[in-house]
Amino acid sequence: MNADVVFPQNATVPMERRIFVNRHLHMANISAIGFDMDYTIARYRRQAVERLAYDITINKLIQRGYPEEIRKIPYDPHFVIRGLIVDKQLGNIIKLDRHREVCRGFHGSTKLKTNDIRNHYFKKKTLWEATRFTRVDTLFSLPEVCLYAKLIDYSDAHAEFKKSYSDLFEDTRSCIDEAHADDSLKSIVSSNLETYLERDLQLPETLHRLRCAGKKLFLLTNSLLPYTEKVMTYLLNSFHAEYPSWRDYFDIVMVGAQKPSFFSHLEPFVEIDDNNQNLGNIVRVLERGHLYQGGNFTDLEATLGIHGEQILYVGDHIYGDILRTKKAGFWRTALVVEELEDDIRHTLTHAPVLSELETLAKERRYLATLAGWQTEEANQQIPGSSAQIHTQIAAEETRQQVKRLDEQMHRLGEVIDRTYNNRWGMIFKDKGHTTRFGEQVSNFACVYTGRVSNFGFYDPQHEYWTPPDLMPHEQDIRGW
């Protein structure tokens, strides 16, 4: 055991390291825990990896005939956040609330005005078809969307560059997918792991504690063995005397899993050796100490002798890891949201501003209601009477107070936005309302947290309780 690793006993877990609960989860009922690798067990140095993916994608676009001039387009690591939507038809990037209404957006890197948003998305019902709209649900997607926005700017400024907005996106997506598939990205990462990966020294002890509690652990990743071997060795080898190799932490290791189809198809497992060579064995029963590629969740459950809600799967992808898992086999789910730690720190740091904004919002609601009452009272009074004139003046003064509060709240909102992200604000909220991404986290993940090692702060048999669900009328009754 690494002597530097300490999980405080009987101490309050730091807020940014806590596990947050959407659905009651009793770990005593969990017999097996599975982990994704990329952006779950493996935490990347995001700006370094994203810049690398951005540069490789530009090179591939130029090889496909794009002008050499695009090489000069700088990467902006703060331009996009997770949870956005790309409108490939109009070249817009937009943020939705939980009702699928557009909160804000950009055309390329130019902010959309309120009237533009209304004209594009509110004049008639928007059908959110995949042919037109693409979700930005993974951290891997951020560099491609950033580049797409820059290419929109370039295209708008160069009439001779004849590419539709949709073509620009599909070309960018194709090139970045190719960068992952042909190893041009991962070969650079794996050759310089210290530059691109963070070591979490609490991770080995966390896995050890789960194993000691009788949990079976398995690794289920889409990455192939050569890359997985290098990454996992860097993260886990030589940190714990009981585990000479990273593989010793896991009862079953599955690479090249092809999620999400792993949860919906019945592709067999193929056994591979340490050199990533196919041994020609198509297997249905998996053994500890062996390596497998492909496969399906049905055979995995049969091997484990564990089914449904006895299995917890930990991943970072809302759809590929979390939603598909629930639809296929009722596994319990834990979503790793890396951005959560910074979000919590910002919220704690700016708690006074957020509290002031909440107070102003309550005052505004009261005054807006009061203005309505005053107007209704004036309408019921004798036209032109001093009483009616007095009431009308009072109503106008109240409306002016509402207007001043709106301006004050707008200024505070801009302060808050700059704290989180200057263009997009919070990842889970927008102007006090839950975003589409926030709703997905709430609906699909049983629990969510910022990193895998946060489980180490809790007893392996811990019972995670959900906060009470309050409907709006209950919130009013309780004075919330």
223: helix, strand or coil: coil
Structure tokens at 177: 């997918």
Q: Kindly state the helix (H) or strand (E) to which residue 226 belongs, with its residue range.
A: helix 225-236
d(CA 466, CA 474): 17
36 is catalytic: yes
User: ∠ CA 443-447-450 to the nearest 5 degrees?
Assistant: 115
**Distance set, CA 246 to CA 23, 38, 229, 240 (Å):** 31, 15, 9, 10
Structure tokens at 360: 């102003």
Q: Which of 4, 36, 156, 200 is catalytic?
A: 36
Asked if 86 and 209 count as a contact pair (C-beta separation under 8 A), the reply is no
402: helix, strand or coil: helix
d(CA 176, CA 174): 6
| Peptide bond preceding 260 in cis form (omega within 30 of 0) | yes
Three-state SS letters, 338-399 = CCHHHHHHHHHHCHHHHHHHHHHHHHHHHHHHHHHHHHHHHHHCCCCCHHHHHHHHHHHHHH
Asked if 75 and 143 count as a contact pair (C-beta separation under 8 A), the reply is yes
d(CA 29, CA 309): 8
In 298-308, which positions are buried (b, 16+ CB within 10 angstroms) versus exposed (e)?
bbbbebbebbe
User: ∠ CA 472-474-479 to the nearest 5 degrees?
Assistant: 95
Sequence-ordered strand ranges (E) for 170-308:
197-198, 216-220, 252-255, 269-272, 278-283, 291-294
Asked if 438 and 323 count as a contact pair (C-beta separation under 8 A), the reply is no
18: helix, strand or coil: coil
C-beta atoms surrounding 108 within 10 Å: 20
What residues act catalytically? 36, 38
